[in-house]
Amino acid sequence: MRLNDHLTKRLRHWLLRPSIRAKIMGIVLALVLLLGFGITWEVRAKMSSALKSQLQERGISIARDLAARSTDLILINNTYALHELVTDTLRDNTDLRYAFILDANGRILAHSFDQGFPRALAEKNRVTPNARANVTVLTSDEGAIHDIAAPIFAGRAGSARVGLTETGLNATVDALTREMLLTTFVVSLLGVGAAYLLTLFLTRPVLALVDVTQSVARGDLSRRVQPWGDDEIGQLATAFNRMTAELDQTQRAMLRRNRELAALNAVANAVNAPAPLAETLERSLRALLDTLDLPAGWIFLLDGEHIQLTTWLGLPREIGDREVVTALHGCPCTVALADKQSIVVAPLPERCPLREGRLDDARAIASHVTVPILARDHVLGVLGIASADAHAFSDAEVKLLEAVGQELGVAVENARLWDDLRDKERVRGQLLEKVIGAQEEERKRIARELHDDTGQAITSLMVGLRATSDASEPTTRSRLDALRDIAAQTLESVKRLARELRPPLLDDLGLPAALERYVASYRANFGLNADLQMTGFSNNGRLVPEVEIALYRIIQESLTNVAKHAHAHNVSIVVERKPRAVVAVIEDDGCGFDVRAVSESPHEESRLGLHGMRERAELVGGRLQIESAVGSGGSVFVEIPIT
């Protein structure tokens, strides 16, 4: 779409670029050429069609005449006379390429070919006995050949064939075309000449208007256009003179307003660009000085009782450092801080450090203005602008600088808020990482204790129950066997819980083995058709433990949510290891849910699982995306970068 727009603009620019005189002459020339070429093409086409029809009719006449004259000769088997007849026919017709006679069985009786008769030619055209003639257009090295076949004695004696070329026809058409093109060229020259004379009278007042317009564009509003008459161009000249007079009155106000807006826009662009605070302030001050054509400026920021020099342009840096040391004491600029109002200092006091400085062009400073940088009625710093002109800062200039000061105040406050937010987010990430790490360590410890202590205790209990059962009465033995079965089920539950808390395969063999074991257990526990596909893990070694744990927990939480809430029958897990990332996709055919509603739900249980998965992915630099809709299943997409 953008390419089409670009091409359209280029074409429009190319068409509108020539002068009016060139456009008029071009239109006349285009019309003459279009008309001339159109008529030439139409006449050529119609004439070619008519000549081809005449050629075919003449060919039919020749073929039928040849057939009629050869009938008796064929019946008396006079081959020599047939050859003479074919030769005479070819000699009497200059555009006849060949002629030959076939008997009823398709054998060649006579032909006009010197190098031998081409056998394939006899089969190219056949005529029915009752037909007048049959015409077929053949393609050859000499061009198109109209092959005409005529029956001899109603086909019982054979057929006569002749071939006519279009060489003469084409020569006639080409000659006529050249004459018409020459006529078109002559008419084009006459049309261009007439158009040129016409444009001389039409464009002269327009060119005069263009000349004055260019002077106005250069800023000269004193010139006027001489009207050439009372027509539309004369009315345009009068209106243009009136407009120029009005522009002369408003130009100064517009320039002043444009200067103010340009300064504000330059500062706004510098403030809104993503950059550290010190760089943002320097770019803002530089843009302000360039727009207002001022030589020097500075920005001080206040941090409690301390003063920080952030930007100093156009003056020696030592002066600014001295101001920081003295904390602006004894300087009239402190009035701007105390009263929260701008102050213009002109002339400079005797003790002002700026008296010692020189601008880049070696001029002395004659005045400067100090503007407080405000944010919500709090002074965050000061903006200073210096000039070699004692009367450089009018009331309008000061108001403009005050607006800039407020904009800088918002930028400073936002930058400090962003710094605080980044610090808090960094601390939150560290705490979250420690919490998740502690969770995994606690899971590992609990899983180890369940497997070692609790599992061994239940195993010992089962052994004791077995021994007691062997030494007991039959009635008591059945009860003890039931208790031993309960203990066995409890032992299996403890082992499964230990594996879910911290699967040993994840630490020993890695993510693929742990996921295969978990998915198999998932199928058995929940009765769902779970399909696991893992690619790219065979020859690339193991992932780092943090990535393996994050992926395992995200997939585990996703499958648990499917089993609890989705009412699904099938679930698919695809994990692919790529050169720079590992990707996991979990999809189910369940009832689905509204992702946004669940994420914004006031019930913590509904949204903590989703937030937990997303935070686990973000902690290892990845991203997690959940897509689902009510009634259409759901999918979880995880991508984690790897090195």
**What would the pLDDT profile of 422-477 be if each residue is shown by its tens digit?**
776 666 656 655 655 556 555 566 656 555 556 566 666 666 666 676 667 777 76
According to DSSP, residue 356 is labeled G
Contact (CB, 8 A) for 590 and 634:
yes
In angstroms, the CA 592 to CA 628 distance is: 6
Using CA atoms, how far residue 532 sits from 89, 522, 537, 586, 587, in Å, is 89, 11, 13, 9, 11
In angstroms, the CA 339 to CA 374 distance is: 12
Helix H or strand E encompassing 406: helix 395-449
Contact (CB, 8 A) for 366 and 389:
yes
In a 10 Å sphere around its CB, with 0-12 CB exposed, 13-18 middle and 19+ buried, how is residue 97 labelled? buried
Question: Which CATH number describes the domain made up of 510-641?
Answer: 3.30.565.10
Task: Kindly list the strands in the beta sheet with 296-303, ordered across the sheet, starting from the edge strand earlier in the chain.
Answer: 306-313, 296-303, 378-387, 367-375, 343-345
Contact (CB, 8 A) for 590 and 630:
no
According to DSSP, residue 358 is labeled B
| Domain boundary assignment for the chain | 38-174, 260-409, 510-641
Domains 38-174 and 260-409 share a fold: yes
Contacts of 593 (CB under 8 A, 6+ apart): 565, 628, 630, 634
List, for residues 280-290, the tens digit of each pLDDT value: 777 877 877 77
- Sign of dihedral through CA atoms 247, 249, 250, 252? positive
Name the nearest CA neighbour of 415 among 584, 277, 606: 277
Three-state DSSP at 370 gives: strand
Place of tokens 């903006």: 383
Which residues face 358 on adjacent strands? 364
Name the nearest CA neighbour of 89 among 107, 109, 110: 110
Name the nearest CA neighbour of 286 among 266, 264, 302, 307: 266
Contact (CB, 8 A) for 355 and 338:
no
Give residue 455's pLDDT: 59
Q: How many CB atoms lie within 10 A of CB 413?
A: 16
Type of residue found at 575: V
In angstroms, the CA 542 to CA 510 distance is: 6
List, for residues 73-127, the tens digit of each pLDDT value: 888 888 888 898 888 888 888 888 889 888 888 888 888 888 888 878 888 888 8
User: What is the CA 126 to chain-centroid distance, rounded?
Assistant: 63
Using CA atoms, how far residue 95 sits from 45, 163, 467, 636, in Å, is 21, 9, 124, 82
What does pTM read for this prediction?
Answer: 0.39
Q: At what angle do helices 455-470 and 474-501 cross, to 10 degrees?
A: 170
CATH C-level class of 38-174: alpha beta
According to DSSP, residue 509 is labeled T
Three-state DSSP at 214 gives: helix
Question: Which residues of the chain are modeled with pLDDT < 70?
Answer: 1-6, 9, 11-21, 228-229, 252-253, 255-256, 259-260, 263-264, 270-275, 304-305, 323-332, 336, 424-467, 469-471, 477, 480-481, 484, 487, 491-508, 601-608
In angstroms, the CA 226 to CA 234 distance is: 8
Name the nearest CA neighbour of 371 among 340, 415, 410, 329: 340
Name the nearest CA neighbour of 300 among 145, 164, 445, 409: 409
Place of tokens 């199928």: 523
Three-state DSSP at 50 gives: helix
- Sign of dihedral through CA atoms 592, 597, 600, 604? negative
Q: Does domain 260-409 have CATH number 3.30.450.40?
A: yes
